[in-house]
Amino acid sequence: MNIVSQSLSGLPLFLEYFVVGLLLFGAFLAVYGWVTPYNERALIREGNVAAAISLSGAILGFMLPLASATAHSVSVIDMAVWGLIALVVQIAVFAGVSRALPHFGEGIRSGKAASATLLAALAIAVGLLNAACMTY
């Protein structure tokens, strides 16, 4: 087997993990969009920077543990299970912030970066902790 064939022998498994990761990412965006009381995509299209900040933080907060789960999993099923856990954790972050600061959603809708920055920072911080905990 030549070096190129040997290097590409892992391509099918790479593609499997990558596609499952993209599916989990799509599921996260769908669930997160359903849970939030505002439409991030519509707000971002209108130029709402606060919506972009908060959604970006949530995406990073989800993708960090998903990357850790991918790197440390023993199978694609294992990776998917831990990816779903990462999704649940990020939804819990949003729910916790919503409960602790009931009017922050209005701030994001009105374009206030302070509310969005706090939510993004919390989502990323919890995502980092979540990723670190997935190094089993």
Residues 125 and 64: their CA atoms lie apart, in Å, by: 10
Angle at 108 between CA 104 and CA 109, to 5 degrees: 115
Answer for the pair 123, 90: CB distance below 8 angstroms, yes or no.
yes
pLDDT digit string, tens, across residues 108-122: 999 999 999 999 999
pLDDT band of residue 104 (cuts 50, 70, 90) is confident
pLDDT digit string, tens, across residues 56-86: 999 999 999 999 999 999 999 999 999 999 9
pLDDT band of residue 1 (cuts 50, 70, 90) is low
H helical segments located in 74-136:
76-100, 104-109, 113-133
Task: Give burial (CB, 10 Å; 0-12/13-18/19+) of 79.
Answer: buried
* Three-class DSSP category at 40: helix
Does the pLDDT value for residue 8 go beyond 90? no
pTM of the model: 0.92
pLDDT band of residue 136 (cuts 50, 70, 90) is low
Domain ranges, ordered by start, for the chain: 24-133
Tell me which residue of 35, 21, 14 sits closest to 86, measured CA to CA. Answer: 21
| Token duo for residue 46 | 């209108």
Cα radius of gyration (the chain): 17
pLDDT digit string, tens, across residues 19-64: 999 999 999 999 999 999 999 999 999 999 999 999 999 999 999 9
